[in-house]
Amino acid sequence: MSLLKFLGYGQAEPADAARDTETVHRIVTELERLDRDRARYLAAFAYVLARVAHADQEFDGVEIALMTKFVVELGHLSEAQAVLVVQIARSQTELFGGTEDFLVTRQFREMSTEAQRRELLDCVFAVSAADDSISAAEESRIRQIASELGIDHAGFVAARAEYSDKRDIIRAFRKSVG
């Protein structure tokens, strides 16, 4: 709750706020200057990116930088705001990862268009490949995210095609036959 609301000023929180996960709520609160729906969208977007970046149980600096770049570009935020969004999403992923992953991704699905979900999937692949490699754990996480976003297998394969040369499984196969 913001200080103004605590003091009895401002509007009541919208019905969507009652459904927000703790992760989305915390990021939205930090971004109160933004339109609430836009802040909710960015919170969920950044959290899903953090899910794949944390698939190997650690965050790489290159992944964090790319996540921040996407939040700046697609969210039309300042660098400082984007750093804040990514940092909170990262912390929330580390704290609540297994519990909120599906909930936040489902919330993103409900508030986004199909084009936005496909854009997020492309960003998820890019973050995963930021270190020049997509591990089996990351690919599995991306497949799960795509499913939760309502993207069918054909859509997943199409998005993955751009990153085939980064996939560890393809590299291992080429090495074994080469």
pLDDT band at 39 (very low <50, low <70, confident <90, very high): confident
Burial of 128 (0-12, 13-18, 19+ CB in 10 A): buried
CATH label, 15-177, candidates 1.10.3680.10, 3.30.420.40, 3.30.465.10, 3.30.200.20: 1.10.3680.10
Predicted structure pTM score: 0.81
Residue 86 has a pLDDT of 93
Say whether pLDDT at 19 is over 90: no
Q: If you ran DSSP here, which 8-state letter would residue 53 be given?
A: H
Burial of 3 (0-12, 13-18, 19+ CB in 10 A): exposed
Contact between 40 and 28 (Cβ < 8 Å): yes
Could you state, in order of their start, the residue ranges of all structural domains in the chain? 15-177
Q: How many helices (H) and strands (E) does the chain have?
A: 10, 0
Phi, psi of 169 (to 5 degrees): -65, -35
Q: What is the pLDDT of residues 50-64, one digit of tens each?
A: 999 999 898 999 999
Say whether pLDDT at 45 is over 50: yes
